[in-house]
Structure 1
Amino acid sequence: MVPITLPHRLILIRHGETDWNREGRLQGGQDIPLNDLGRRQAAEAAERLRALAPGFAALDYIGSPMKRARETMDILRATLGLEAGAYRTDDRLKELTFGSWEGYTWRDIRKAEREQAQLRERDKWSFVPPGGESYAMLAERIRPVLEALPGETVVVSHGGVARAVLALVGAVPPAKASMVEIWQGKILVVTGNRADWL
């Protein structure tokens, strides 16, 4: 994979917690809303953004159109005193799809589809769940979005998307990127080929 060098700072925020996150269920393409903790995390991310980028009002804002990401973006913008719905969405920023595994926990999957689960453990980056997509496929889906960012941008999206971004910019090798913990309520700042949590 040829890494992208971003010419502008990318401020990436994972959506806040949902009940499925708390239960350890694979959400993927399911449109699950935030829970109370997730709404607090969105407001906390706004305060981190305020400290990180005093000129936050002038930044470009783009997000996944999925409910949990839109709720996070709306809360974040409202907390900052910005118009809640005044941002762009892009379908390519939707979460990695897990196909027929969505709604199940990893424990369920290891029990019901042990062989498939073992194959995934060997190569998380390239493994395609039944009816789903791999991290490699996700990375190619979001690459054009990153390449077209007009300037310093706030992106609200998902854990899988953040892992793909880390690999695309060369901050983490793809095999490791698929295993990186992506925090909710914190901010991942990508500058060039470097990524830091704030």
Structure 2
Amino acid sequence: MARKDIYIIRHGETDYNRRGIVQGSGVDAPLNDMGRAQAEAFFQAYQHMPFAKIYTSTLIRTYQTVEPFVELGIPYEKLSGLNEISWGIMEGKIPNNLDDEYYRNLIENWSAGNTAMPADEGESPEQVVTRQRPAMAHIMAQTNESPVLIAMHGRAMRILLSWLLDKPLARMDTFEHSNLCLYKLGYDNDTRQFTLDVANDTSHLLAVSSYY
């Protein structure tokens, strides 16, 4: 197989997303009504896609996002390497002024290149890369699987896209995302390089957005 197509989506909305509460990898929140509607809208738009395999994180919100595809009989696998970054002490909290200042300082440090700086009692972007690499190596080793669908999380997605596309982690925030957005990558087995085909596509959610 000369090319492998990879569809990467962020999970649908949870009540924590709606309320602005930090989830990270430590809060295993399910999809809310909007999130389930987003998952169904994505399924309606892409159910024709012959996904060979689905990969999710170990958190329920990613599995619920792709559950309609799993119900078709498409095989799936949960990989902890795809989990969201651990935000440490921020998880489960509604950001107040102090938390906003803490978060802003963390993001500014990462943007300045200090991507080894972890969240307090949490992870750094570089630590996330370390656990993502074997997960992606496992996915890419299945050379007969294409296209594949990966359901994951916002910050983890930004980190993954950065190193897959040879961009510095300090620039990860250039990869914008929203709930149930789609990024599509192609991998050329000859050049061993990833290309970005689709970025932050939410066109499949237009009907959902107008309804809610």
Pair 1:83–1:116, CA change in 2 (3 A): closer
Q: 2:136 aligns with which of 143, 146, 163?
A: 146
Q: 2:55 — aligned with what?
A: 62
- In structure 2, how many angstroms separate the alpha carbons of the residues matched to 1:45 and 1:118? 35
Moved more, 113-122 or 23-32: 113-122
State which of 118, 127, 136 in structure 2 corresponds to 1:137. 127
Q: Which residue of 2 aligns with 1:49?
A: 46
Matches of 1:83 and 1:74, distance apart in 2: 10
- Give 1:39 shift: 0.4
Q: CA deviation at 1:135?
A: 1.6
Shift of 1:184: 2.0
Whether 2:154 is the aligned partner of 1:159: answer yes
- Asked whether the 8 Å contact 1:20–1:32 carries over to 2, the reply is yes
d(CA) in 1 for partners of 2:117, 2:3: 31
Task: Give the whole-Å Cα distance in 2 for the aligned partners of 1:119 and 1:159.
Answer: 16
Instruction: With the length of structure 1 as denominator, give the TM-score of the two structures.
Output: 0.81
Q: 1:77 to 1:12 in 2, by over 3 A?
A: same
- Return the match for 1:73 from 46, 57, 66: 66
Preserved CA contact (<8 Å) 2:10 2:178: yes
Structure 2 unaligned spans of 5+: 188-193, 202-212
TM (norm. structure 2) is 0.76
Q: What is aligned with 2:178?
A: 183
Runs of 4+ in 1 over 6 A off after TM superposition: none
Conservation of the 8 A alpha-carbon contact between 1:15 and 1:157: yes
* Cα distance change of structure 1 residues 7 and 143 upon mapping to structure 2, 3 Å threshold: farther
- What does the per-residue CA deviation read over 1:27-77, in whole Å, with 9 as the maximum and x for residues that have no partner? 0121011000100111122233235x3x23xx1111112111111121343
